[in-house]
Each structure stands twice: as C-alpha cells, then as structure tokens.
Amino acid sequence: MNFPKRLLAILALLPGLALANEGGITLDKAPDRSNNLAALQHGAKLFVNYCLNCHNASSMRYNRLKDLGLSEEQIKANLLFTGDKVGEMMTTTMNPKDAKAWFGVVPPDLSVIQRAKASGAGSGSDYLYTYLRSFYKDDTRPTGWNNRLVENVAMPHVLWELQGVQQITTEEVADPHEHGKMTHQFAGYKQVSAGKLDKLEYDTAVADLVGYMEWMAEPAAQTRKKLGVAVVLFMTLFALLAWRLNASFWKEVK
C-alpha cells in the first residue's frame, strides 16, 4: 500500500536531481549537426584524436563511420590507430587500473553518453556542449583543471591546446540568503593564453564533436525519424480512405 506513495515521492524528486546535476547552471543550447555530414566527419576526427585516448566507445565499430560518407580508405588513413582494423570496436588501449590510479576513476564508456546526460535541464548534447566549454585553470586540482559545470572534475581538459587557458572571474554581490553579507558570484571567463583556435572556432569544433557523439549514440536516428514521418502520412491516408469507405457502405442504410 505504501509503494505508490514512495514512487510518487521519488518521481517528485527527479526534476530537482536533474537540475542539481548541473549545479544550477543554465546549459547552453548545442547547435544541431544532425544533417551536416562534414561537421559530423570533423567531430569523428576530434573524437578519435582526443577522446579515444582514455575513453571507450565499445558499442561503435569504425566501419559504421561509412554512414557519415567516409570510405574505408579514409577511415584507415585518418581515424584508425596503429594495429586497429576497420571492423573493430572503438576502444582505448589504456589499462583501466592505470586510469583509476591516474584519475581516481575509470573514464566512462562514451557510446551513449549523449543520451545518458539528458535531463530536465536540457538534452545530452546541451550538457556536453556546455561541459566541454566550461573548463578553467585551477592549480589546486591534481590535473591542474576544473570545470564549472562539474566542480572538482577528475577529467583533465584534453582540448586545452585548441581552446587555450582560461580562468573564471567573480564579482562581489549581496548574499540573497543572509542580509548584510557579501558573496562571490561567477562573472565569466578570462582568457589567460590563446589556443590554436579562437573562441568561435573552438565553439564550432566542440559543436561538431558533440554532434558526432549524438550521432554515435543512435546512428539510425535520422532513418527512424524519416520512417516515422512516412508511417504517419500512410496512417493518415489510410484513415481518410477508411472514413470515406465507411461512409459509402452506410449511405444506403441511412
């Protein structure tokens, strides 16, 4: 008898849990790359070069990248590590024990990370797009980096050469919870040193990477959506024909 009440209590907490995961930070909307093959190809290249060093994508095979318009020769020449084969899964050579010793935790598999990070605060793409642009220099952390979206994150900023080094800036404001007290509030980022890309170029590169991770989480998504539209149109036509046929059958009876 208590089960429904407990279930309702848990469901009531879910929105709060989703927002708490982002630390109250509003997620930036990730640009849509679902129909941009060039951007998805670029994102796949970034993923292989910067993510597969530590993370697995054990549900994805390299040869599935043919769906992005890449030939087997292009995959071999640009996206395969030495010794890997086109038909193999996208896995890292890093030993899990070494990873845990270095980072304190084994890096998660990224095959469906885009779907896993979806919440009431935004889509998984929004989360990843915000996360990869929120790293800042923090010498108190073991890796030298922190992330405003995930405070005290174990992951280092693997894209720092592209983005450069940035620090957070704060401003002193009145504490809304305690009269007469001042507190420090996030005011933005300050660029300490430039990277290989300027801000717009870096944001574009991250959008491409996130777009690829969204595609990787469900490679057949676009096919499914197109099939869904076709099914809805067919059912609409079928319903119209059934309606007129029914009217014809019952015309004499009336």
- The tokens for 140 are 């108190």
The radius of gyration computed from the CA coordinates of the chain, to the nearest angstrom, equals 24
Question: Is the torsion defined by CA of 30, 31, 37, 41 positive or negative?
Answer: negative
Q: Is 55 annotated as a binding residue?
A: yes
Q: Alpha carbon 158 to chain centroid distance? A: 16
Q: How far apart are CA 22 and CA 130, in angstroms?
A: 10
Strand ranges inside the chain, DSSP E = 57-61, 89-90, 135-137, 145-147, 164-174, 182-194
Tell me if 71 sits within 8 A of 34, measured CB to CB.
no
Q: Which residues are annotated as a binding site?
A: 51, 54-55
Q: Which residues are annotated as a binding site for heme c?
A: 51, 54-55
